[in-house]
Structure 1
Amino acid sequence: MHADLTPELLSPAGNWDCARAAVAAGADAIYFGMPKFNARLRADNFTEEDLPGLMEFLHKHGVKGFIAMNTLIFTGELEAAERQLRLIAEAGVDALIIQDLGLAKMAREIAPKVELHASTQMTITAPEGLRFIESLFPLERAVLARELSVKEIERFGTSPSTPLEVFVHGALCVAYSGQCLTSESLGQRSANRGECAQACRMPYELEVDGVRRELGEVRYLLSPQDLAAVDFIPDLVRAGVKSFKIEGRLKTPEYVAAVTRVYRKALDAALADAAPATSPISSDDRYELEMTFSRGLTSGWLGGTNHPYLTHGRFGKKRGPLLGTIAACGGTWIELTDRTDIPLKPGDGVVFDAGENRDLEQGAKIWKIEGERIVFHRTFSGINFTRLKPGQTIYKTSDEKLESDIRRFWQNAKLREKKAPLHLTVTGRPGEPLHVAAASGTLATSAASTLALQEASKHALSAETLIAQFSRLGDTPYELASLDCQLQGECHIALSELNRLRREIVDALAAQDGPDQPAAGPTRITARDLLPPRGLQPSGPAAPQLSVLCRSLPQVEAALESDIATIYCDFEDPRRYKEAVALKSEISDPKSQIHLATPRILKPGETGYLKLIERAEPDGVLLRNLASLDYYKHRSDLRKTGDFSLNVANPITAKLLKEAAALDTLTISYDLNIGQVMDLLQGAPPEWFELTLHQHMPMFHMEHCVFCTFLSEGTTYKDCGRPCESHVVHLRDRVGQKHRLMADVGCRNTLFNGRAQTGARFYDDLRTTGLAKFRIELLDEDDLGALRTIAAYQDLLTGRTDAVTLLDNVKAFEKLGVTEGTLV
């Protein structure tokens, strides 16, 4: 399956110019999107009409083309997704990059000759998670989560067989890909649907124990610097990584060209010498990386955990390299101290960092340089010079000459056509025809001369002569790679006959590889063939059941007191799970089951958390990641619920997960609105599902620890002092809304929407489908608040109250109010 495992450099292409720039700069493959099912909808993208020409262009130059269909697919979109898969297969696309498990199953069945790459949106963070996906369908590539270190990536080599791909450059999401619900929660723009609103790049205030913490100019608490792993390429090669991916489908062709050619140099050097004594990357190369786009460059998580290194909080948009600090200023000029060696000339753009609101900061182009003074035009610069003060820092934001040089590079580059290697074996002896056997890749043919070989009187036919004649392949798609001369005796034949044989061989190979032989045609299988059977509708819907997710022992006690049938426990410290399970034994006739939640993320070596859950002896488990599905799939003695983080958005995904992980229940994805939920329940048995009616939406789930970065002097959990255990922390957004921040057992942070949301007014419609399982999730309610919330929803389910009354009651005791949220 994995024929070519030569490490590959993979570049982004948001449009035609970016594709040409990537090819010119040495990319082995590009990835791009189409207008639908693409996580970068704001890119120009490529149309259906573009696809054949784009693939012809790429293949002509020996570059592969991968299409990103890396969004969730809703039930009503399955037929459109199937149509796009067929189009892709017919166009000869090399690979699909896919998030949705149901779509991946469709791709494997409908377009089996197109490689299947698991997107980073699948949240593959542990070998066990990848092993679970491999049990569903074969993969040609797995794109790992960006939060893994090199040492953690190395641990993948011992388990799965799928080649690995790693991001090495570009913007970093603060949340785990596939697990960010912020844009959906705040603005109905789902990141899992390509509509990320980049809320992580916005300013936030930090509130600790109810008091605003003064952080000076530090406001961008969730905005990571950009990834630049160019120095880690040799380590990643040694770790077994086979594809090195550059982020940037929204970036310019100049960015694509500059970054690609730097990483081409780094990867070629690493392949030539896995441990080079000196870095092949020059200061000019690093300057190009910073100037084309950067919010500051880091190696991300690849070197291990160092929270402050990743996110300094001082700005959230493009900066470029630091030039220095203003030492003096007057009129239209400034002088710098701590001057870096970054080149500076008239026409370069700069920005002044005064620690103010970044929307108000000043920037301009340099007019001239006079000795140590940098001078700006009094009128056309637009600068308010009275705002410039000593001590302010200055960054270089643009370099027109560099951009022009890079533009000329990719526009004027002579793109060498990639030709297929041709291997020939020549046999014969005097009195017999000359035979030529030809092979190129998977193609093979042979030809024989119409004339017999003659005994040579003077110049015998030599290997050199044969090579000279058969190398004359001109504008054919082949180039002679080898020729094995096995002639016996002193042979002679007319050169015209050798030329005829060469043409016959090329024509025969071309016929095998022609347009009538599609590389990856679709099958006749349809999306409908993969849907689960609906069966007969029951005579009436099952009685409604309410489950409650608790985050503290007092909340568990409230749920037990309310006779809740299923109680999910999601504690920051799973060592307290045993106490939660023990609470049930204190009740003489318990009507409740205690189910324990796994961490949202499991990284290599963290299955010990799952063993801790087992030792607590729960009635069931709430499974939140692929690794836990793999771990528990053979446990028939536990009730198993797949949580919202598994992103079940269509019936094919539901069927896959339910069967492969032997799940009793699936939680419907939080990305679905009410119409999409209804479609899902009509496309799969409603008894499979549970729907969350009330919750504080978990917006960001991130490896980045805000507690460690901004409330300690440490860099990891080893030296941070654990402020998460002693303080209640909220982040206040630009509109004044406070959002609760919590840490989990792995020190990962979740930011919960400060406004609880409810789908209560859709309850009656949901019941008509046969859905019977409903959940409410508590956050920081005390025991009395938990009892009130639980009672309100019990009354809704039993018909003692309606949604309008419930909304009034909830508003009366919810501290921060309620919105109907993403079900709208």
Structure 2
Amino acid sequence: MANRPLPELLAPAGSPEALRAAIAAGADAVYFGGGAFNARMRAQNFDDEATEAAIRLCHAYGVKAYMTFNTLITDREMPAFLVAAEKAYLAGVDALIVADLGAAAVLRQALPLLPLHASTQCSAHNAAGARALAERGFCRVVPARELSAADIATIKRESNTEIEIFIHGALCVSHSGQCLFSSLVGGRSGNRGECAQPCRLPDANGKYPLSLKDLCLAREIPFFIENGIDSLKIEGRLKSPQYVYEVVSIYRRLLDERRAATDREMAALAAIFSRSGFTDGYFKGKVGREMLGVRTEADKQQSASKETTITLPPVPLALRFRMKANEPVALTLQKGEKTVTVTGDIPLVAQNAPMDAAAVSKNLCRFGGTPYTVAETDIDVDAGLMMPVSRLNALRRAALAALETEQRASAAQLPPLPQLQGTATAPTASFTSLAQLTPKARHYFARCYLPLALYDDRAAALTDSVAIPPVIMDHEWPDITKMLQKATERGAKHALVSNIGHLAAVKAAGLIPHGDLRLNICNSYAAADYLANGMTDLLLSPELTLPQMRDIGGARRAVIYGSLPLMLLEKCAGRELGGCTACDAGKVRLVDRRGEKFPVLRLPGSHRSVIYNSHPTVMSDRPRELMGAGLSNGHFLFTTETADQVDAVINAYQRATPLYQKIRRM
């Protein structure tokens, strides 16, 4: 381990003050968001001027600057998105963290030299997903936080890209990129940077079944070094500069000393911020109720420490200056291995007061208001010469600008909006049980998707379509591969695919892939990418409005009926909310403070569970609206419905009559 390179230590910055704290604490890189298109819109963030200053400051200290553009982008937003990305590129940003595959496709064409990092919002949870993202131009992937140590090692070993792992900070209970709770229930989209954190709220019983403790992997530093992980990321763009400074300082020490945290250091981290302690449950493969935690009064009192003054040491420069008769003056600045030289006017013959080295040094060594100080000078001035102070000041400013600026040229143009061909010719549906596949359903729907784990001989007699699990960790692939093989042997022909990392396996099995809503398709560029890579048709993100869906052409659908999935949980919520028997019977409900009841279903063949909306999306009596958006042949999502209820839903859509009283519209 002693000879292996250290991972990059990547720190959060929600404000300029937090950015300075991260640099002072020893971060190798800092990530921050601009005024739009980032997943922490509640942070102070950085406007254009602050962004340029932040990047200059980072580079002055040899720290990399990454910007988050990690929200979903619509077609109509794409021009503004590209303008913002180009500004970041021209300012010298080292990489953009991106969540939208359509946005990545645009950047790949418009700014091909700009490095792209795939956000954890891309839902990469296996090596195949990392490879698929690398094929789309990403040089780094931030995989799901739910990975175990073994799966992290596999994803690094079997992918062809840099891997960045979250090691400290708040945990979402849902898989990142797979949470619609805040959006569909509260009107504030987590995928658009406005999460209201409903998972931190109590339920009807005053308990907190969805609030996880903060992640802390400070004891696992040797593992990450040994397995060649490229970057270790600390969460916290909503945290204070003091938090950033103290947490980064501890991890900096652990990395430099290549060791695990001691009990004292773990206690120090908990004193900075915790929710009833920390968890490493996902990493250890121990997913259970011990991972739950809330911010108690004792936690708050423990964290109430006095503020530490955070200062940055000056950056030393070497300065050389030459002023010779009949030659342009020359000023050279050197910072580390970087050297720049600028030239100015030919000096004048002094009439009264010639300049000596001391006079020149007094004017050239003024770097107030910058991170720099002159540590070494070499000034060679011929006797009897002078130069106006204003010219010396201009020369110094020009040299500093050359030192700080990486010359980048760009004439980014938005690629033409893809003109997608084809249409969805008949409605389709997803089911959670075999009993829901009524004769009426099998006749009405072109494809009836049943979970892969339920596709036995009885199912094969009723449908030729399977739904691939939304999460497949690398250790689960052997079982999934066997299921795919048996499904094709039984006559399966179609597969509903909900993750980019599953597409290759589905095609290899000989199944026709269709895109699920979990792909988060919000623009034509993302749709074109999936269609070009083998998808036959696509389900659009339910966060889009009908006009936004209309903007995206081609063979696309939307969920026009059903209780939409709000959260995808790695842990089994049903066991805690109602017990295993109730969970298997589909009778578990999460009841919130207002009395709303959200169905919780276990994914067949796994311990994972899904929380669904308390009110179904219903458009049965709005056929003209669907037709106007080109979505007449939409997708139906059946969860807890009985066979009779399935038939009743179909009847309502056939007759264009209302359904239920409490519903959600598109």
Give the Cα–Cα distance (whole angstroms) in 1 for the partners of residues 48 and 135 of structure 2: 32
Q: What residue is the counterpart of 1:656 in the other structure?
A: 529
Contact 2:215 2:279 in 1 (8 A): yes
Q: What residue is the counterpart of 1:301 in the other structure?
A: 282
Correspondence 1:255 to 2:263: no
Q: What residue is the counterpart of 2:213 in the other structure?
A: 225
Q: What residue is the counterpart of 1:54 in the other structure?
A: 54
Over 3 Å counting, the alpha-carbon distance change for 1:519 and 1:185 in structure 2 is same
* Structure number with larger C-alpha Rg: 1
Contact 1:228 1:300 in 2 (8 A): no
Deviation (angstroms), 1:763: 3.5
| Residues 428-577 of structure 1 aligned to structure 2 (within 5 Å) | 515=402, 519=406, 521=408, 523-527=410-414, 529-533=415-419, 545-560=426-441, 562-570=443-451, 574-577=453-456
Contact 2:271 2:302 in 1 (8 A): no
| Residues 145-544 of structure 1 aligned to structure 2 (within 5 Å) | 145-205=144-204, 219-270=207-258, 276=259, 279-281=260-262, 283=264, 286-311=267-292, 316=294, 318-319=295-296, 351=297, 395-398=298-301, 403-404=305-306, 407-410=307-310, 413-417=311-315, 515=402, 519=406, 521=408, 523-527=410-414, 529-533=415-419
Give the Cα–Cα distance (whole angstroms) in 1 for the partners of residues 279 and 309 of structure 2: 27
Q: What residue is the counterpart of 1:89 in the other structure?
A: 89
* DSSP 3-state at the match of 2:230: strand
Given candidates 625, 633, 640, the residue that maps to 1:773 is 633
Over 3 Å counting, the alpha-carbon distance change for 1:523 and 1:655 in structure 2 is farther
Q: What residue is the counterpart of 2:486 in the other structure?
A: 615
Give the Cα–Cα distance (whole angstroms) in 2 for the partners of residues 612 and 399 of structure 1: 51
Q: Residues 383-419 of structure 1: CA distance to partner in whole angstroms, max 9, x if unpaired?
A: xxxxxxxxxxxx252258x632xx3341xx3424277
Deviation (angstroms), 1:440: 7.3
Q: Residues 669-714 of structure 1: CA distance to partner in whole angstroms, max 9, x if unpaired?
A: 11112232122x3xxxx332012100101111010222345667xx
Give the Cα–Cα distance (whole angstroms) in 2 for the partners of residues 225 and 645 of structure 1: 26
Q: CA RMSD in A?
A: 3.6
Contact 1:129 1:630 in 2 (8 A): no
Deviation (angstroms), 1:578: 3.8
Deviation (angstroms), 1:544: 5.3
Contact 1:150 1:303 in 2 (8 A): yes
Q: What residue is the counterpart of 2:465 in the other structure?
A: 595
Over 3 Å counting, the alpha-carbon distance change for 1:116 and 1:561 in structure 2 is closer
* DSSP 3-state at the match of 2:308: helix
Deviation (angstroms), 1:282: 5.5
Q: TM-score, normalised by structure 1?
A: 0.68
Q: Which amino acid aligns with 1:255?
A: Y
Deviation (angstroms), 1:553: 1.2
Q: Residues 574-631 of structure 1: CA distance to partner in whole angstroms, max 9, x if unpaired?
A: 14444212235xxxxxxxxx31000011111322324413422212000011221122
Over 3 Å counting, the alpha-carbon distance change for 1:80 and 1:567 in structure 2 is same
Contact 2:275 2:299 in 1 (8 A): no
Q: Which amino acid aligns with 1:201?
A: R
Q: Which amino acid aligns with 2:466?
A: L
Deviation (angstroms), 1:558: 3.7
Deviation (angstroms), 1:291: 3.5
Q: Which amino acid aligns with 1:673?
A: T
Contact 1:739 1:754 in 2 (8 A): yes
Correspondence 1:696 to 2:582: no
Q: What residue is the counterpart of 2:126 in the other structure?
A: 126
Give the Cα–Cα distance (whole angstroms) in 2 for the partners of residues 675 and 599 of structure 1: 30
* DSSP 3-state at the match of 2:152: helix
Over 3 Å counting, the alpha-carbon distance change for 1:416 and 1:518 in structure 2 is closer
Q: Which amino acid aligns with 1:632?
A: V
Deviation (angstroms), 1:115: 2.1
Over 3 Å counting, the alpha-carbon distance change for 1:128 and 1:280 in structure 2 is closer
Deviation (angstroms), 1:634: 5.3
* DSSP 3-state at the match of 1:152: helix
Q: What residue is the counterpart of 1:579 in the other structure?
A: 458
Contact 1:738 1:754 in 2 (8 A): yes
Give the Cα–Cα distance (whole angstroms) in 1 for the partners of residues 210 and 302 of structure 2: 28
Deviation (angstroms), 1:773: 2.9
Q: What residue is the counterpart of 2:544 in the other structure?
A: 672
Give the Cα–Cα distance (whole angstroms) in 2 for the partners of residues 419 and 611 of structure 1: 63
Q: Which amino acid aligns with 2:198?
A: A
* DSSP 3-state at the match of 1:302: helix
Q: What residue is the counterpart of 1:380 in the other structure?
A: none
Contact 2:442 2:462 in 1 (8 A): no
Deviation (angstroms), 1:80: 0.5
Q: Residues 353-391 of structure 1: CA distance to partner in whole angstroms, max 9, x if unpaired?
A: xxxxxxxxxxxxxxxxxxxxxxxxxxxxxxxxxxxxxxx
Q: TM-score, normalised by structure 2?
A: 0.83
Q: What residue is the counterpart of 2:587 in the other structure?
A: 728
* DSSP 3-state at the match of 2:257: helix
* DSSP 3-state at the match of 2:543: coil
Over 3 Å counting, the alpha-carbon distance change for 1:399 and 1:182 in structure 2 is closer
Q: Residues 271-306 of structure 1: CA distance to partner in whole angstroms, max 9, x if unpaired?
A: xxxxx4xx4546266234333343421224111123
Over 3 Å counting, the alpha-carbon distance change for 1:122 and 1:418 in structure 2 is farther
Q: Which amino acid aligns with 1:545?
A: A
Contact 1:111 1:521 in 2 (8 A): no
Contact 1:61 1:418 in 2 (8 A): no
* DSSP 3-state at the match of 1:102: helix
Over 3 Å counting, the alpha-carbon distance change for 1:149 and 1:53 in structure 2 is same
Contact 2:316 2:335 in 1 (8 A): no
Give the Cα–Cα distance (whole angstroms) in 1 for the partners of residues 582 and 420 of structure 2: 50
Q: Which amino acid aligns with 1:598?
A: I
* DSSP 3-state at the match of 2:188: coil
| Residues 778-817 of structure 1 aligned to structure 2 (within 5 Å) | 778-793=638-653, 795=654, 801-802=655-656, 806-807=657-658, 810-811=659-660, 817=661
Residue segments in structure 1 that go unaligned for 5+ positions in a row: 206-216, 271-275, 320-350, 352-394, 423-437, 446-472, 481-494, 500-507, 585-593, 713-720, 796-800, 812-816
Give the Cα–Cα distance (whole angstroms) in 2 for the partners of residues 283 and 268 of structure 1: 18
Over 3 Å counting, the alpha-carbon distance change for 1:616 and 1:479 in structure 2 is farther
Q: Residues 478-523 of structure 1: CA distance to partner in whole angstroms, max 9, x if unpaired?
A: 999xxxxxxxxxxxxxx99899xxxxxxxx9x99996499637364
* DSSP 3-state at the match of 1:301: helix
Q: What residue is the counterpart of 1:334 in the other structure?
A: none
Q: What residue is the counterpart of 1:34 in the other structure?
A: 34
* DSSP 3-state at the match of 1:67: strand
Contact 1:40 1:194 in 2 (8 A): yes
Q: Which amino acid aligns with 2:648?
A: R
Deviation (angstroms), 1:107: 2.3
Correspondence 1:639 to 2:512: yes
Q: Which amino acid aligns with 1:250?
A: L
* DSSP 3-state at the match of 2:30: strand
